[in-house]
């Protein structure tokens, strides 16, 4: 590969897994290289997303990234905030978050899920300024220069959907233990069961 040429995966995009009637919309920050090259969400070998989805009870059977197209049959949709794949989030630009939010907000308006779950505290924190300035979002700060963001339901809605934050299940996430992640996914699973 020439020094100035782009990697083969850079222009790849994942297909949204959203259909009318989804009750929960899961939002990843952006595809990793493995997801881009396989065409499936959360495909990284150290990512615990699919295991957490099953062990928490959000889906009724074990699934892998190869099953992401089956999520709508359980009332679950999946998309990303930023479509561009990257090997890490440190290369994402602030404008990409803003542009990504504009697109995501239209998807929420169109499909009207009851819950929008952001897979990553960092992503939700990065969106805070966008969310507080973009109607019809109505978050309420908990003090200071913005909220203290913890996993769970947030004090905000978008087009009637309640916002939920999950820990990022990447193997790189050292801020949460697996048990902490599982507890958050189980909290979401309880809310999903109440929607059925």
Which residues are catalytically annotated? Answer: 30, 41
140: helix, coil or strand? coil
**Are 107 and 25 a contacting pair, CB within 8 Å?**
yes
Contacts of 7 (CB under 8 A, 6+ apart): 1, 33
Cα separation of 34 and 25, whole Å?
Answer: 22
Q: Which residues contact 57 (CB under 8 A, 6 or more apart)?
A: 186, 189, 193
């Amino acid at each position: 590969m020439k020094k100035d040429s782009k990697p083969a995966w850079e222009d790849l995009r994942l297909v949204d897994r959203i259909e009318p009637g989804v009750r929960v919309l899961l939002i990843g920050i952006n595809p990793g290289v493995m997801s881009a090259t396989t065409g499936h969400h959360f495909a990284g070998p150290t990512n615990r997303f699919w295991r957490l989805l099953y062990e928490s009870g959000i889906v009724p059977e074990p699934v892998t990234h190869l099953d992401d197209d089956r999520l709508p049959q359980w009332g679950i949709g999946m998309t990303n905030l930023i479509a561009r794949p990257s090997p890490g989030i440190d290369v994402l630009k602030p404008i990409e978050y803003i542009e990504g939010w504009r697109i995501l907000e239209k998807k929420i308006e169109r499909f009207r899920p009851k819950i929008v779950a952001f897979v990553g505290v960092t992503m939700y924190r990065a969106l805070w300024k966008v969310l507080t300035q973009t109607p019809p979002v109505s978050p309420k700060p908990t003090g200071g220069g913005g909220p203290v963001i913890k996993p769970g339901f947030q004090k905000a809605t978008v087009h009637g959907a309640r916002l939920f934050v999950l820990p990022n299940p990447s193997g790189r996430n050292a801020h949460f233990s697996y048990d902490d992640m599982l507890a958050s996914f189980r909290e979401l699973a309880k809310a999903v069961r109440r929607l059925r």
